[in-house]
Homo-oligomer: A and B are copies of this chain.
Amino acid sequence: MKIAEVSELSGLSIDTLRYYERVGLLPPVHRNDSGIRDFDELDVRRVQFIKCMRQAGIPVDVLTEYMRLALIGDETFEARKNILEEQRDLLAAQIAEMQSTLDLLNYKINFYEERLAAVEKNLSPMEEFDVTTQ
């Protein structure tokens, strides 16, 4: 599979795919006689995995290290598991934080709605930058 197809399929730009290979996040992809990349099924699955992790904000260098270990073999299982656990914990914390910000946003939006309604009825104004509800 050529790079354009993988790009199409994954939603990552061609440049990004090449960049990932350059920095070692994607192991060297097999080339044909003209030097053109030919992604196999495993490569594509790796791309999809990377895309997923990147979207969640896991840094490239962490994933690169993970990939480096994965290529070594079974003796790096424990190390890889540790990386994933660490990232999972970070991610969980981030989700919790974002969830509480989401709640705050909803609270504020609701406040705006009420206040817009109140304005029509000429009621008293309320406070703007109230974050006490976090």
Contact = CB atoms under 8 A, between A and B. Distances in A.
Oligomer: number of copies: 2
Given A101-B55, A101-B56, A105-B88, A45 B81 contact: no
Interface string A82-102: 001101100110110111011
A106 interface: yes
**A interface: dominant SS:** helix
Chain A interface residue number, banded: 35 or more
Interface in A68-122: 70, 74, 77-78, 80-81, 84-85, 87-88, 91-92, 94-95, 97-99, 101-102, 104-106, 108-109, 112-113, 115-116, 119
Given A52-B131, A53-B101, A70-B128, 8 more contacts: A42-B129, A48-B131, A52-B134, A77-B115, A84-B108, A88-B102, A92-B102, A95-B102
